[in-house]
Chains A and B, each alone.
Chain A
Amino acid sequence: MFMNSNLFEPGKSKLERNFIQSAAKQNTRLDGRKSGDFRDVKLTFGADWGTVIVAIGDTKVLAQVSCDIGTPSSARPNEGTLHLNVSLGGVAYLNESQTTHDQRFLTLNSLLERTFRNSRSLDLESLCVAAEQHVWCVRVDITVLNHDGNLYDASTVAALAALMHFRRPDVTFLDEEIRIYSDKERELIPLLFLHYPVSVTYCLYKSNSHYPYVDPILLEENAADSIIVLSFNSYNELCSLNAGGSTPTKAGIIMQCARNAAKRSKSLVDFLKKALLLDEQRRNNKEPIMEGLVSLLTNKSQTISYNHLMKEDVSDIVMREKQEIPEKVKTEDKPVAVDAEPHKKPSKATPAPINDSAWLPRDKEASPTVVTSSAPTKTNRNKSQRGAGQQKSTQKHSKQQNQSDSEEETKPVIK
């Protein structure tokens, strides 16, 4: 009865690790996703500015931004400060087994620091009120509500969404006197960004180091031998890279992961911008009563899902919601002037492939195999195609962008 079975996370036992390793060998995942498939990202903005709950599958993270006037550091007297704090304890029950908590906690904190602070994503100079005296100190508190894998991505998306959502009060500094205006006196001001970073996580297994799994669940993450976390911004710039573990990995794999992570980051940032636009228009429609996080309990229509949002225009959604509100009030049958609800089945939203990743070095060596569309298992495919690959290698093929992160699935490069 008293065994801490709840605190033993899935993926730590030998049986589970063997299971995941053999599943990785066959390139299958527990929830049926392909190695390059992401889970749906769902955002819910709160009624306060700077509040957001991000849910990636079952992983739920709450982020809250707050700000205060403070004194700057002496090294940078004309910049505001950004402080990121992740707390794993609390409802997530992650800090019970101390060893995993410390490592995970430190990695998470260091990743967020590097992604947001070291890459200078927030324009800190715009937060300066009076050099050497008064600056805005922005603080992001990230609370993990539930951990089902991929905490890195959820935290970066939550932090970025909260920072983009946040509005700070207007302030004036005259004659040595600082005056902060409340939101009734003057409009609140959003924060300024130089770029928008998000991260993508891959995990690798010793049994199959050519197929990194993206967006792992907790079971896959704990059983992984190596974890690669890449942060890209929407301009295809790498903000941070965290690769570690015990699997020998070809550099080509990491480059392929990087290409796909760059694509995914751009579409995630587009999604965030769209979601913020939608939230803003909802606020304009519903003032002064803003539902906020209660919507998680009422009808969940305020939750913005990546799969659904990337298919529609914001204006369509707002129009549809505007017509739904008078429908509820008047209880008449008004024809809703939009197509049917987006179907629930999550399909992978494929943004146009970015072809400007030419700066990424292409693999010089020809990959020995060419993949056919249907293949029984990876090992069989290798053996059967090796002969065919030799014959085809004389032809020139340009490397195409595709969704898989495996080197072997790409066509052979120019020799």
Chain B
Amino acid sequence: MNEIATDKGKVPNDKLREMRCEFNPLSRCDGSVMYSQGSTVVIAAVLGPVEVKTQSLSIDGSYLECNYRPKAGLPQVKERIRESVIQDVLELAVLGESYPRSKMSVQIQELEDRGSIDACAVNAACLAMIIGGLPMKYSFAAVQCIINEDGEYILDPDQRETLHQRASFTFAFDSLEGDLLLVQTKGSFKIAQFNDIECLCRSASANIFQFYRDNIAKYHGRKSSPTSDVKEMETET
């Protein structure tokens, strides 16, 4: 777990917060995961492929339903925006063509929001889909980064840091090519900063993919492959 290391130079905080997950805490769905980044905790569950209503039925592929629920209050426009963002990413990743005339449902419940909840929700959805056995083209990981008032880049901010931000970026990458799946920005920034942060986030996403591999391997009772261990050592040095 990293607290803010706000030196007054331009040293960016380039480490993600500690990630943890627990698989299948819920018994009634196909796959579920409780996932946390730092103190932000999210639960995601998937169900599918199951029957779909005729109005959403499609012969080309399956219908993907995505819902995000906040902890307090009824879902508002803010939650609907998050849902549509997450749904866009999921639709790119899920291999809907293998199950036409069906529905896959992904539900995300916020348990505690302590910064970068968008990225957390996307990552939890990916893990839930992997555990639930939904067909995917690739896995994906999202990272959030902010520019604070001093012009420093802070990766994976917590709630305190999010309060004093000048701009915020959320990127999602796929695991095969490293292509961008999602770009969400808020605030004002220069294009050079945008490019820098995109590179920063892309390299951070490698850690998230490694986290996925390690935990899924552990869940299935296997160790992750030795080649990935070598890669991890490389990224650390």
Contacts and interface: CB of A to CB of B under 8 A. Distances in A.
Interface of A: 1-4, 6-7, 9, 46-48, 51, 53, 58, 60, 62, 64-66, 85, 87, 89-93, 139, 141, 143, 145-148, 291-294, 296-298
Given A2-B51, A292-B39, A294-B39, A64 B28 contact: no
Interface string B147-168: 0000000000000000000000
Greatest chain B CB density within 10 A among A89, A91, A141 is at: A91
B128 to A, nearest CB: 9
B72 interface: yes
A143 B109 contact: yes
B112 interface: yes
8 contacts: A47-B112, A93-B45, A93-B47, A146-B26, A146-B27, A292-B114, A294-B20, A297-B22
Interface residues of B, number: 37
A293 B102 CA distance: 35
A90 B73 contact: no
Interface in B34-53: 34, 36, 38-39, 41, 43-45, 47, 49-51
Contact of B28 (A46, A62, A66, A147): A147
B74 interface: yes
Nearest to A59: B27
Nearest to A67: B72
Interface of B: 20-22, 25-30, 32, 34, 36, 38-39, 41, 43-45, 47, 49-51, 67, 69, 71-74, 101-102, 105, 107-109, 111-112, 114
Given A47-B39, A296-B22, A85 B74 contact: yes
B111 A293 contact: yes
Contacts of B30: 6
B28 A6 contact: yes
Nearest to B20: A297
A46 B72 contact: no
Given A93-B107, A292-B112, A87 B51 contact: no
Contacts of B39: 47, 291-292, 294
Contacts of B114: 47, 292
A297 B21 contact: yes
Contacts of B36: 293-294, 297
Contacts of B71: 51, 62, 64, 141, 143
A127 B147 CA distance: 41
Contact of A53 (B26, B105, B111): B111
Contacts of A293: 36, 41, 111-112
Given A4-B51, A6-B29, 14 more contacts: A3-B51, A4-B50, A6-B50, A47-B39, A47-B112, A66-B72, A139-B72, A145-B26, A145-B43, A146-B27, A292-B39, A294-B39, A297-B20, A297-B22
A297 B34 contact: yes
